[in-house]
Amino acid sequence: MKVSFIVPLYNCLPLTQAMLASLRATLPPGLDHEIIMVDDGSTDGTREWVQGLTPPCHVLLNERNLGFAATCNRGAAAAQGEILFFLNNDLVLLPRWLEPMCAAFARFPRAGLVGNVQLNHATGAVDHTRIVFNSKGKPEHDTTRGPGVPFYRAVAALTGACFAVRRDTWQKLGGFDEGFINGCEDVDLCFRARQQGLVNYVARRSVVRHHVSASPGRKARDEQNTARLVQRWRHALARLSARDWCRHHLAQHEEEPRDYPDLALARDCFLYRVRLLPRPTARILLGVHTAIEAEIERWKKLPV
């Protein structure tokens, strides 16, 4: 099985060099692979440095800055591997990070995207075990690594900083939506995989370190990207956000529960929070949609 590693680059040359060194040091002997480096208009010497790389590294140069989604799509279009790995250039890959992710595709025939656990490089704290959704439908990193979770965890979504996908799955899904500008394209791709009946997984025995959001401009359009995501996947997000919405709703009156304006809703929230209800009730979903609608109205006032 051939594996393609696709690395989008935009400045941060020292981090790129360290990432490539860690990738080479952690690859299993004899692995058939290629490393596709796609430079997105770097100005710090990255562009000159990558042109000196030799096979199995291959280099693509964007004529101008296209953003994360388009850069990854270009790298994937050139890839020959059966499994595509997308790696941010600010990762530090640790021993045996690769094997659990590869094994997921043999173990789960309906696997969509496969991610892993990521640690903040500066602090060592857990930065990502999956993506969850808050009471307003916005994506956030789950940073918990609780006991009792299996080696592979089915998740709704995971970060694009380090993930793998079968090449034929990537092609069927159409790659990243380039309408997202450096944010939320990973969640959107996960949701499209779910829509096709696939299951996304996090391989919990695969651990890497990540210089979080090191690329210039990474957070510049977070609100616009989230608005695009929520408007596209509003109903799916409402269900995924329901448990946190219940937590938030109950917390508003926890000091004096008798002051709840709607005791039936409070009961529903409590039962759903403690998993005595299998799914959110209509009352809960109405509350979530109201919160999401308030965010949509706010987003309408943002610059395009």
Q: What is the pLDDT of residues 169-187, one digit of tens each?
A: 999 999 999 999 999 999 9
What is the per-residue pLDDT for 88? 97
What is the per-residue pLDDT for 254? 74
pLDDT band at 145 (very low <50, low <70, confident <90, very high): confident
Q: Measure the CA dihedral 95/99/102/107, to 10°.
A: -140
Mean pLDDT of 288-302: 91
What are the CB-based long-range contacts (under 8 Å, 24+) for 255-261?
none
- 216 and 244 in a single domain? The answer is no
Half-sphere exposure of 89 (CA within 13 A, CB side): 27
- 247 and 204 in a single domain? The answer is no
DSSP conformational letter for 45? S
- 16 and 139 in a single domain? The answer is yes
- 216 and 263 in a single domain? The answer is no
Please say if the pLDDT value at position 302 is more than 80. no
Residue closest to 178 by CA, chosen among 76, 84, 87, 78: 76
- 73 and 199 in a single domain? The answer is yes
CATH of residue 28's domain is 3.90.550.10
Residue 302: both structure tokens together: 């943002």
Please say if the pLDDT value at position 204 is more than 90. yes
Residue closest to 68 by CA, chosen among 172, 195, 173, 187: 187
Residue 49, number of CB atoms within 10 A of its CB: 18
Residues 6+ apart with CB under 8 A from 176: 68, 69, 70, 72, 73, 160, 185, 186, 188, 189
Please say if the pLDDT value at position 148 is more than 80. no
Residue 90 lies in a domain: yes
What is the per-residue pLDDT for 216? 62
- 196 and 91 in a single domain? The answer is yes
User: What pTM did the predictor assign?
Assistant: 0.93
Structural contact between residues 125 and 200, judged by C-beta atoms closer than 8 angstroms: no
Q: Which of 104-113, 215-224, 292-301 has the lowest mean pLDDT?
A: 215-224
- 261 and 193 in a single domain? The answer is no
Please say if the pLDDT value at position 230 is more than 70. yes
Taking only the tens place, the pLDDT of each residue in 232-256 is: 999 999 999 999 999 999 998 777 6
Residue closest to 43 by CA, chosen among 13, 19, 8, 73: 13
Q: How many domains does the chain have?
A: 2
- 151 and 279 in a single domain? The answer is no
Please say if the pLDDT value at position 76 is more than 90. yes
Residue 227 lies in a domain: no
Q: What is the DSSP string of 99-128?
A: HHHHHHHHH-TTEEEEEEEEEETTT--EEE
Please say if the pLDDT value at position 297 is more than 70. yes
Task: Please say which residue of 178, 197, 220 terminates a domain.
Answer: 220
Mean pLDDT of 70-92: 98
What is the per-residue pLDDT for 304? 64
- 170 and 82 in a single domain? The answer is yes
What is the per-residue pLDDT for 240? 97
Element (H, E) at 131: strand 130-133
Task: Please say which residue of 198, 220, 242 terminates a domain.
Answer: 220
Residue 140 lies in a domain: yes
What is the per-residue pLDDT for 209? 97
- 145 and 290 in a single domain? The answer is no
- 58 and 164 in a single domain? The answer is yes
Q: What residues pair up with 141 in beta bridges, in sequence order?
A: 131
Residue 259, number of CB atoms within 10 A of its CB: 10
- 142 and 257 in a single domain? The answer is no
β pairing state of 91-93 and 199-210: antiparallel
Please say if the pLDDT value at position 190 is more than 90. yes
Residue 304 lies in a domain: no
What is the per-residue pLDDT for 147? 72
Mean pLDDT over the full length of the chain: 94
Domain limits for position 262: 233-299
Residue 226 lies in a domain: no
Residue 228 lies in a domain: no
Taking only the tens place, the pLDDT of each residue in 18-53 is: 999 999 999 999 999 999 999 999 999 999 999 999
Q: What is the DSSP string of 154-212?
A: EESB--TTEEEEEHHHHHHHTS--TTS-SSSHHHHHHHHHHHTT-EEEEEEEEEEEE-T
